Amino acid sequence: MAGRQPSGVYFTSGGTELVLIDTVTRTRSVVDVRLPAPAIDDVFAISPDNKTIYYGAARAEADIWIVERK
């Protein structure tokens, strides 16, 4: 998953961290931000002014119930 900015910088979200990849200098920088949940690959956008990154996250929980018949 990647969102492209006009400046040639790619924003990618790999699970729980946000990474900037500059295609000109070929440098990779991890952004110091704590994401509340792992990102979903297909839910990602950058605002038109390139100042805000939107991403979707998912957290799943499950309960297992054991029932005995008497």
Number of domains in the chain: 1
Domain membership of residue 64 (yes or no) is no
Question: Residue with structure tokens 């910088």?
Answer: 9
Structure tokens that stand for 34 in this block = 């704590």
Mean pLDDT of 8-16: 55
Q: Please tell me the predicted confidence (pLDDT) of residue 14.
A: 55
> Residue 11's CB: how many other CB atoms inside 10 A?
20
Q: Which domain holds residue 10?
A: 3-57
pLDDT for 26: 81
Nearest alpha carbon to residue 5 among 24, 14, 39: 24
The answer as to whether 69 is a domain residue is: no
Radius of gyration from C-alpha coordinates of the chain: 18
User: How far is the C-alpha of 34 from the C-alpha of 32, rounded, in Å?
Assistant: 7
42-68 pLDDT, tens digit per residue, is 677 778 887 887 877 777 788 888 888
What is the percent of the chain with per-residue pLDDT over 70, rounded to a whole number?
A: 71
